[in-house]
Structures are given as C-alpha cells and as structure tokens.
Structure 1
Amino acid sequence: MNPARLVILASTAFLAAGLIAAGWFAARLFVDRHDNALIAALVSGHDLATSPQDPAELTFARLHFLTVRDRLDEAQPLLNRLAADPDRRLAVAALYDMANARLRLAIDHLGSNRIDPAVPLVRLAKEGYRRALVIEPGFWDAKYNLDIAMRLVRDFPQLDVEGEEMPPEAAKKLWTDLPGIPRGLP
C-alpha cells in the first residue's frame, strides 16, 4: 500500500473519530443543560415531576424540594432510589437531607407539645443518620445531628413480655421514650 494512501486513510479515520466524539459531546452538553435547567427550576420553587430514568442529581433536587416543603411521603420513594444508587455521595446527601427534614418536623411537633407524632419522626431521623454514617463514617454533621436526635428520644431496651402481664415492679423501671426537651443549663 502506498504511503500517501495510508496517510489519507489514517487522517480520514481520525477525522471521523473526531466528528463522532464532537457529536457525542454536543449531545451530552444538551442533556446536561436540560437537566441543569430542570434543577434550577426546582431550586427556584417550581414543582416538577421526575422519573426513574432521570439522573440521580435531578432526583436529589426533587427530593430536596419535597423535604423542604415537608412532603416526606412523596420524597420517600426518591430517597429509596437514591440510597440504592451506586453514587455514594448522593446517597449520603439524600439520607441526611431526609433525616434533617424529619428531625425538623419532630422539633416543630415538640414545640407545640405534640409528643405522639414526634417520637416516630425522631426514630426515623436517627435511622437515616445511621444509614448515612454506615456509608460515610466520617460525616461529622450526621454524627452531630444523630447526637441531638438521640437526646430527644433515647433508645432504651424494651422488656419482651409476650402473652404475660408485666409485673408491677418492672413497670416502674421502664423509662419514657421522650424525656423532654432540655432547657437552659443543667
């Protein structure tokens, strides 16, 4: 084969590869700009639905939109999807965001002296912080918030008495779930 023809074939191949790469990057840029526009719309307060095919970043933006507005039931499926995502960074952020929303809502309930709905919210917040810490053990903010949640509703061992009545002395030894909100200095 003649060297001039070889140079022409090689340069044609490089040109074709360059055109294919440029087309792929242009398509990727279009998709990223579209996703960024949707995320910006969610941040600015416009509610947009997402689908399971959407990128994890867009799903997280929707989850954050819902948690800020205390729509936790709608946010839970998004959290489940993000927690199973291979991107650990977004999984931790989603677990932390949802736990913060639950703790914030529980503190609002406690401020209004509604203890019954606050206890399960605090327990779910603690579970979220623990799951985030399993994925990223050095996440200091999750450790701190878990400590606050642990002070609100303590985890004490429960007596397992199935089918039998609890003896009166055992009933006196049980702790309440919610010791109260600490006020001021000890």
Structure 2
Amino acid sequence: MMRATRRGDFILVAASLLLVASLCAAGFFGVRLILDRRANGDIAALAAGHDIPIASDARLEPLFARLVFLTTRDRFDEAQPLMNRIATSATPRLAAAAFYDLANARLRVALAHLESNEIDPAVPLVRLAKEGYRRALTLDPGFWDAKYNLDIAMRLVRDFPQIETSGEEIPPEAAKRLWTDLPGVPRGLP
C-alpha cells in the first residue's frame, strides 16, 4: 500500500510541475506575442510615414525602421545614436544594412548639393558616406550594392595620401600639383 501511495504522489507532483511549466511557457509566449505585435505596429506606422518615437532600449527591428524613417528625411543627427546602437548590438547583416542606408542618405544629400554647385557642404557628406559603405563592407564583404556605391563615392571625392610636412610649408610648385578634393561629378557609364 505504501508503494502505491508513493507512486501516486510522484505522478501528482510530476503533473503539477508539468502544468506549471506549461503555464509559464504560455505566459512567456503570450507576452512575446504582445511585444511582437507592438513592434510590428511601430514598424508599420514608421513605414507609413508617421513620426513615432522609439525607445533607445527597444528591439532592433523598430530601431532600424526608425533609422530608415529618419534618414529618408535627412535627419542625420537624430539617426546617428540609433546607428550606434544598431552597430553594437545587431547581427552583422542588419548592422551592414543600417550603415548602407545611412550612407545612401548622406550620398543623396551630397549629390543634391553638387547639382546646385554647393561643393563645400557636399565633401564631408561624401566622406561620411564612404566611411559608412566601408563599415558595411567590413560586416558583409559580399554586399555588392555597398561596393558599387562606394565606387561612386570614391569617384566623387578621392582619397589622397596626406603630404607630410613636419611643420614645414609646402613649396609653391608642390601646391600647384595637388589635385582638388572634388574633381567633378561623373556622368554616364565608364
């Protein structure tokens, strides 16, 4: 009789533990479903053009959607902190996509400046775009679009080795041989 009672107690305890584990799992997945729906709603609202704030500690997908929203509206100062957060905590592929999107937005604004013959504000934007493409390629070396856009940006503002002067002045004949930073906007195919 003792044996049957112990076996019955064991089955009762096991069933209770199984029920508690099932309730915990259901609660976890229920909360996860609510958070996923909220994140999807935020992403959809941003994609529809509604400016909604996203907490800096939010999941990475809504942060990426907010980054895309800000970069399409040329709000780079607001997008940079989101870019930093995505770069440090996202998967390499998502971080590469974020670097690429921010670099594209900067290059687009730089090209608009160049079309209106405003060279001075275009040069730093092109340099920042090149840095973004390089970081995207570091994270995803097979990212062909980033390679192509980096090539375009490299043609706009060339990277030249710096002349070491060690405190001396540049001779006038050497200053005449230096190229400008912005040789011109490439037109057509190579």
| 2:73 matched residue in structure 1 | 69
Give 1:183 deviation, angstroms.
2.6
> Deviations 1:44-102 (Å, cap 9, x if unpaired)?
11111122211111111111100001111111111111111142222111111100000
Change (3 A) 1:61 1:96: same
The answer to whether the Cα contact below 8 Å between 2:60 and 2:90 also exists between their aligned partners in 1 is no
Matched, 1:5 2:15: no
Which blocks of at least 5 consecutive residues in structure 2 are unaligned? none
Count of paired positions: 186
Tell me the amino acid that sits aligned with residue 32 of structure 1: D
Tell me the amino acid that sits aligned with residue 104 of structure 2: N
SS of the residue aligned with 1:9?
A: helix
SS of the residue aligned with 2:89?
A: coil
The answer to whether the Cα contact below 8 Å between 2:68 and 2:101 also exists between their aligned partners in 1 is yes
1:180 to 158, 161, 184: 184
Q: Greater CA radius of gyration, 1 or 2?
A: 2
> Which stretches of structure 1, 4 residues or longer, exceed 4 Å deviation after superposition?
none
Written as runs of structure 1 = structure 2, the 5 A alignment for 1:138-157 is: 138-157=142-161
TM-score, L = length of structure 2 = 0.92
TM-score, L = length of structure 1 = 0.94
Identity of aligned residues (%): 65
Return the alpha-carbon distance in structure 2 between the equivalents of residues 104 and 171 of structure 1.
31
- Stretch of structure 1 that moved more, 48-57 or 124-133: 48-57
Matched, 1:99 2:98: no
Written as runs of structure 1 = structure 2, the 5 A alignment for 1:155-170 is: 155-170=159-174
SS of the residue aligned with 1:50?
A: coil
Matched, 1:54 2:58: yes
